[in-house]
Structure 1
């Protein structure tokens, strides 16, 4: 059994840059396929979608804290829905925290891809474990603890047990899966506004409209621009690797 000192050394080492993994175009294609396999099929989305929801709600929570709001609690549900409750006297601050739910999974995905391809995969996993551990303080339901606890276990296991090159590959796959999930959620949001308007009360774009009088379509467009920008950042190094096989 590893000693506390050994575990701490392993954890601290995760925050240093590892050797940049050599990723062939075949490995990258497999990574893309794995990411799609996590975030597109209904069976795998049933589980991976929970992580996308966690990231979405953390986007709201982080934006609330950075704008001086009081974060009351986060609830995560097994049907992929979530609620982040904040208190603010400022409409602008409330709109700020409401806005960042949809873009953050894509931004986090791009960050994971970059970290994985540049030797910072272990650091990305270690930071994720710390952020998720801090989130436990704000969770307000059992499902939230189960989902977040499982995510902490996965990130922690990779940090402590997996070799850095393997963690780098996992970071790339996870990042790509989050990017795909961000597009999937945007399409679902757009569908709600076009075809399922009876569900508008659950739409961040609609809530932003209520708070600012700016039409929901403008907010969806801004979400889309940020998600597209995250894809562009992530895809540049990926395309270079894929072109090696051309």
Structure 2
């Protein structure tokens, strides 16, 4: 196939709305995602959350007029996004705030796409986002993380059946929604132990009159709120007699 025909095929798949899956698919993928978040597999799966976290930092940096210098993803699941601009101000606050809230809000956006029937489109959109992040990656482990994630999504989006693609989209969405609050809890545990003195919450405390604990609580409220609303959207979309927004 020529590049033009490949792009045409991708666009056709991505923009075609699909009927909702059976309820057992919705809730089975939710159960699998919850097991991943609560089991030892979290140590590996947390890299996905880090990608969303650093990607959110990068996006808000660009949207607020800052100059993005690069993104690093580390094997201990930490990450670093470097941007240049005013050291204080609303743009810097938004950039710092975006990290811990990013995975939950990405999951909420994914839930909205599923609600509209664009599960396959969601997978291709995530591939595009990873490709854009790849340009800004500045270390080898980060490069490997992005390539592995993108390759898995491309394989599913191109070779798997529509049913498996839909299931994968639900699994990714549930994982982002369910996983988002856990790093916030881990952050506060680190802060109580006297660690994480340069965390996003502590940076926000230095940028604003509000203490770090306030920002941790705000992160938690946003991520839990995204989980509740996203869960309702996904569940309601698969049950025809419930109202929609």
Instruction: Answer whether TM exceeds 0.5 for this pair.
Output: yes
Relative to structure 2, which stretch is displaced further, 134-143 or 166-175? 166-175
Q: Is the 8 A contact 2:178 2:227 kept in 1?
A: no
Q: Which residue among 196, 221, 239 is the counterpart of 2:217?
A: 221
Alignment of 1:168-179 (within 5 A): 168-179=166-177
**Per the alignment, in what secondary structure is the counterpart of residue 116 of structure 1?**
helix
State yes or no: 1:158 paired with 2:156. Answer: yes
How big is the shift at 1:209?
0.7
Residues 136-171 of structure 1 show CA distances to partners (whole Å, capped at 9, x for unaligned) of 111110001000011111122222222333222211
CA deviation after TM superposition for structure 1 residue 100, in Å: 0.3
What does residue 19 of structure 2 align with? 20
1:109 aligns with 2:92: no
Cα distance between partner residues in 2 of 1:243 and 1:219: 38
- Mapping for residues 119-130 of structure 1, pairs under 5 Å: 119-130=117-128
CA distance in 2, matches of 1:172, 1:114: 11
**Which deviates more, 88-97 or 100-109?**
88-97
1:183 corresponds in structure 2 to: 181
User: Which is worse superposed, 163-172 or 45-54?
Assistant: 163-172
Structure 1 residues 184 and 243 mapped into 2: Cα distance closer, same or farther (>3 Å)?
farther
Q: TM-score, normalised by structure 2?
A: 0.90
**What is the match of residue 91 of structure 1?**
88
Shift of 1:90: 4.8
Decide whether the 8 Å contact of 1:57 with 1:101 is kept in 2: yes
Q: How does 1:53-64 map to 2 (within 5 A)?
A: 53-64=50-61
For the Cα contact (< 8 Å) 1:121–1:171, is it kept in 2?
Answer: yes
Q: How far off its partner does 1:238 sit?
A: 4.2
**Structure 1, gaps ≥5 residues long:** none
Mapped partners of 1:121, 1:87: distance in 2: 36
1:21 is paired with a residue of what secondary structure?
Answer: coil
Tell me which residue corresponds to 1:100. 98
Unaligned runs of 5+ in 2: none
Q: Does 1:77 align with 2:74?
A: yes
CA distances 1:18-68 after superposition (whole Å, capped 9, x unpaired): 2223322x33331111111222211x2222111110000001000000000
| Counterpart selection for 1:144 from 123, 139, 142 | 142
1:84 and 1:48 map into 2 onto residues whose CA distance is 20
Tell me if 1:197 matches 2:194: yes
- Structure 1 length-normalised TM: 0.89
2:18 partner SS:
coil
Q: Which range moved further: 7-16 or 57-66?
A: 7-16
User: For 2:76, what is the secondary structure of its paired residue?
Assistant: coil
CA gap 1:162/1:114 in 2 versus in 1, 3 angstroms: farther
